[in-house]
Amino acid sequence: MDCTRSLEHVTTFSCHQQPPGNACGFYVVHHMVKAMELLSMANEPEEFEVPTAPLSDDDLHPIQEKLSFFIMDQVISKKGEFCCNNPAPNHA
């Protein structure tokens, strides 16, 4: 085992360019989904491509819809797994 190499931060690879705005969280979700896809491609990782252009509305809308559905179904709904049944004091 060669222990003479030092740890380095590599930045010489393609990067998905996010435009200015408030879509940061949606980009995080998009990248998490892509990372899970990469894990399922264990035998063919060379097929994984890192996009470099901003996500289109067609890419963002399904993420927004799934997240909205989860919040409404699991957080807002009284039957949801993550619904807070004990609001904070002085909560109207």
Among the listed residues 67, 27, 21, 84, the one whose alpha carbon sits nearest the alpha carbon of residue 50: 27
pLDDT of the residue at 23? 85
The pLDDT tens digits for 7-63 are 777 677 676 778 888 888 888 888 888 878 777 766 665 666 677 888 889 989 999
Q: Which of 35, 36, 16 lies closest to 27, judged by CA?
A: 16
Q: Is 66 helix (H, G, I), strand (E, B) or coil?
A: helix
Is pTM beyond 0.75? Reply is: no
State residue 18's pLDDT score.
Answer: 81
Distance CA 18, CA 59 (A): 13
Domains of the chain, by residue range, sit at 24-76
